[in-house]
Amino acid sequence: MKVSLITIAFLSSSACGFQTPVKLSHHVSFPLKDRFINHKIVTSPIPKFVETNAERFSSNLGMSEADKEGEKPRKVVTPEKIAGRKKRVKVGYQIITASQCLIGLVFWLGRFGKPFYGVGPFLQAGIAYILKGAAENDRLRSDTYKRLNLAVFQFGLISLLAFIKMKSNPILTISSIIAMINSIKGYGYGLKGWELAPTSAKEDLLKGISSNLSCMTKIPNIKSAGYWAATVAMVSMTVAKAYEVLNILISSSGDSFLLGTRLFRLAKYKLFSVIMFTLKDAADRGRLEGTTFVELNLMAAVSYALWAVYAIQDSAQTMPYAASMGLISLFTAFNGLSSILMKDSKK
């Protein structure tokens, strides 16, 4: 029951040829029977103040509904401007991918010296790579990619705070800021399109929360059950880590560097949670054979394998904990590889 509550908290003018009668000036009036002008009856020219149907049609050409109602017409976005927006957001994703891969290598081979410490940046890089492909194929409107953009933003924000607290190299903070800015742009283009049509982000976010909660209340197949369990586990760990961060913040003797490390772990757990939920949603819809979900499965498989190795080496971790990480790694690896084989068999 406690886990379920935690999960719910998290996820958290015209038709058929008929026309309107012509409106005439108050200086002229015709009997009702003569309102519709018949060329066999009326032989004299129509007065200038009478607007014929042809004149009305020609005057309305090129006018939008906003123009007719007196509203400001929507600004036209040229194909060149759309291409420029798409290019800039793609370059942004490329920068995120490259910078996060570099950070992951530094954390792996540098100060910390363990592969698991680089998992967070590696996952961030992988998601940015997926989003770049979505931008190229005009698929940012999908709920999956909007969710992944928000995940990139959250990881960038929390890791930025972590790097500030750890007094890390300014390059790390800059990379986090770039991730935050570009992911918000990507989410915006997914929400409003490349033309930036007026749309409510608040309504979209509320709809997304409702959809996420509904998704976690159903388990339509075995694969969905596995991802559901993994999502619940990661959400629980994320909430527990957030509680730990809160305790450090309210502690009078809080260590700044310790707080930074815990914030960075929080960002990593949050990223794992989003990936597991995204795969659960794909399993519900029978979409695991999609390229995006194959890549997410393989990324998760490698990351959980490194986590299991780290848990075995860490004396503070129990064997059941390490075994759980290894089990999730095998589960995601199996689903990713089986999806590849099924796609190849259909070709």
Helix H or strand E segment including 14: strand 14-15
Say how far apart CA 175 and CA 101 lie, in whole Å.
11
Q: What distance in Å separates the CA atoms of residue 154 and residue 163, rounded to the nearest whole number?
A: 14
Token readout for 119 is 């998992």
Dist. CA 42–CA 53, nearest whole Å: 16
The CA distance from 139 to 133, in Å, is: 8
Tokens in use for 198?
């007026």
| Type of residue found at 130 | I
Phi and psi angles of residue 18, each rounded to the nearest 5 degrees, phi first: -85, 145
Q: What is the pLDDT along the chain (347 residues), one digit of tens a residue?
A: 444 444 444 444 333 333 333 333 344 343 444 433 344 444 444 444 444 444 443 444 444 444 444 445 556 789 899 999 999 999 999 999 999 999 999 888 876 668 888 999 999 999 999 999 999 999 999 999 999 999 999 999 999 999 999 998 899 999 999 999 999 999 999 999 999 999 999 999 999 999 999 999 999 999 999 999 999 999 999 999 999 999 998 886 668 889 999 999 999 999 999 999 999 999 999 999 999 999 999 999 999 999 999 998 887 778 888 999 999 999 999 999 999 998 888 76
Instruction: Say if CB 243 and CB 334 are below 8 A apart.
Output: no
Positive/negative CA dihedral, 199, 201, 205, 208? positive
Which phi and psi (to 5°) does residue 17 adopt?
85, -10
Give the start-to-end residue ranges of the domains of the chain. 78-200
Cα 223 vs. chain centroid, distance in angstroms?
23
Alpha-helical runs (H) found in 69-166: 79-109, 119-136, 143-165
Q: 112: which DSSP letter?
A: S
